[in-house]
């Protein structure tokens, strides 16, 4: 998880007039769907073809492999990401260089749904989680509390939190709000066509 999240970031990097759009959140929280929504809306995206679409993500993962190298300091690719969108899981946000500005669309989803989605993905790969659901959910909660605390203190990061569950039931207001937040030309009508109830397969069960 995040290390030294409460430490003060000290940077001598020169500030650059570039804004990167970041789609973030926990894995299986709707980040791939949001990337597709931005792509359909006309936002250029950074992605590659390394991870293919599958039964767990029929519309694709929209991942960019170099993102995984952020902890190693490999972030040169961000120089070409001005006004482009890239998917970065929340655990890697602290490794973004301070010299850029970031507009972060942070996906939030019911923890029970995230767990169900992860379990299904592991089952499809014939894998099994090493920790129980209760412990995993506790880790989720601690991580989200820590990353939100950290994000609120980063002067170069603007964050919009998007409730995946609410957006799936009523995407109209959310799509327009996202367009307003990004302050970039976005085709909201094309964004609206992406959320698909048929792919909303791992719903939280109510007591």
d(CA 37, CA 175): 9
pLDDT score for 195: 85
Q: Is the pLDDT of residue 93 over 80?
A: yes
pLDDT score for 82: 95
The model's pLDDT over 24-46, given as tens digits with 9 standing for 90+, comes to: 999 989 999 999 999 999 999 99
Name the pTM for this structure: 0.83
Sign of the CA dihedral with 119 first, then 94, 60, and 112 last: positive
d(CA 159, CA 29): 16
Q: What is the mean pLDDT of residues 120-138?
A: 73
pLDDT band at residue 207 using 50, 70 and 90 as cut-offs: very low
pLDDT score for 200: 45
Work out the percent of the chain whose per-residue pLDDT is above 90: 57
Which secondary structure element, helix H or strand E, spans residue 7, and what is its range? none
Instruction: Tell me, rounded to whole angstroms, the distance of Cα 195 from its chain centroid.
Output: 16
pLDDT score for 63: 92
Q: What is the mean pLDDT of residues 61-71?
A: 94
Q: What is the mean pLDDT of residues 52-77?
A: 86
The model's pLDDT over 140-193, given as tens digits with 9 standing for 90+, comes to: 899 999 999 999 999 999 999 999 999 988 888 899 999 999 999 999 999 998
């Amino acid at each position: 998880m995040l290390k030294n999240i409460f430490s003060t970031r000290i940077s001598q990097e020169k500030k650059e007039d570039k804004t990167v759009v970041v789609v973030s959140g926990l894995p299986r929280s709707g980040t791939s769907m949001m990337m597709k929504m931005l792509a359909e809306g006309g936002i250029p995206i950074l992605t590659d073809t390394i991870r293919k679409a599958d039964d767990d993500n029929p519309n694709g993962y929209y991942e960019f492999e170099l993102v995984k190298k952020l902890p190693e300091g490999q972030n040169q690719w961000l120089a070409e990401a001005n006004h482009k969108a890239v998917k970065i899981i929340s655990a890697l946000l602290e490794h973004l260089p301070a010299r850029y500005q970031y507009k972060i669309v942070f996906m939030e989803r019911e923890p029970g749904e995230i767990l169900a989605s992860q379990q299904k993905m592991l089952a499809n790969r014939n894998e099994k989680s090493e920790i129980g659901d209760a412990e995993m959910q506790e880790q989720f909660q601690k991580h989200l509390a820590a990353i939100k605390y950290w994000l609120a203190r980063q002067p170069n990061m603007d964050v919009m939190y998007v409730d995946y569950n609410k957006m799936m039931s009523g995407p109209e207001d959310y799509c327009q709000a996202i367009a307003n937040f990004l302050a970039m030309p976005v085709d909201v009508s094309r964004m609206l066509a992406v959320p698909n109830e048929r792919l909303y397969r791992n719903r939280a069960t109510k007591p």
